[in-house]
Structure 1
């Protein structure tokens, strides 16, 4: 299994397994040019995750586990959406790569 070195402003350089990449061939809404992402878990905060662009170290979106925030949260992903994302199992990314801050501020990257 091949790993990629992904540069981030929040966590420095992190190793991400190629199989853990999230591919969005059409890009994400508002981010059409960004087609490769990885999910990074903030080990200091179990609720916070970062959807990090593989190609742009400055581009990451903080996300949270909705099950922790909302009771009875349920989302249905269509087979077409799974196909667009080249995913066969929506639960595959439940475990992201854990990262530390290395002395950096989690939102400023310093």
Structure 2
């Protein structure tokens, strides 16, 4: 299927690349169908990808794998919240966090409190709010990403 987007123009989204958020995402319950768009770099995939709405061309959220930032990121999630996604096996579970890009790049942050949980096998997903007090809504990442880039 062809999807028109504001950021990427018209893109081709195959059925097996569509992600269905059973209850939408927080703040946008009506938006349920998305795809991940990522830039290929010489080193592989870029750190930040985009969760692009299939229904709304103007809606795309920057997202990233939290393990790049915090290797031991492991939010506690009630099994009941994940039931609509189907059987969750570790190899099929993909976790992303949203990235906030403010005016000042040094204030770049991710939301560790409301991860996106994706079952890669069923292509169903949800966004949840974790109770763990160790995770913040605005976890600063600018220094981590610049240090990582300098180390390459």
TM-score interval, normalised by the smaller of the two chains: 0.5 to 0.7
Give the aligned partner of residue 18 of structure 2.
21
The alignment of Structure 1 onto Structure 2 pairs a total of residues equal to 90
Alpha-carbon distance between aligned partners in 2 of 1:20 and 1:82, rounded to the nearest angstrom: 20
1:78-93 equivalences in 2 (<5 Å): 78-85=78-85, 89-91=92-94, 92=120
Secondary structure in 2 aligned to 1:84? helix
TM-score, structure 1 as length reference: 0.66
Taking a change above 3 Å as real, the CA distance of residues 87 and 37 of structure 1, as seen in their structure-2 partners, is: farther
Give 2:56's aligned residue: 56
In the other structure, the counterpart of 1:7 is: 4
Structure 1, unaligned runs of 5 or more? 94-110
Over aligned residue pairs, what C-alpha RMSD do you find? 2.4
Which residue does the alignment assign to 2:33? 36
Contact 1:8/1:58, CA 8 A, preserved across alignment: yes
* SS of structure 2 residue aligned to 1:23: strand
1:17-76 Cα distance to aligned partner (Å, 9 max, x none): 212211123211100110111111122461011111101010010011211112322245
CA shift at 1:86, angstroms? Answer: 5.5
- Matched residue SS, 1:33: coil
Report which structure shows greater RCO (CA 8 Å, sep ≥6).
1
Matched with 1:46 is 46
- Gaps spanning 5+ residues in structure 2: where? 95-119, 122-152
Please, what TM-score do these two structures have when normalized by structure 2? 0.50
Q: Secondary structure at the match of 2:13?
A: strand
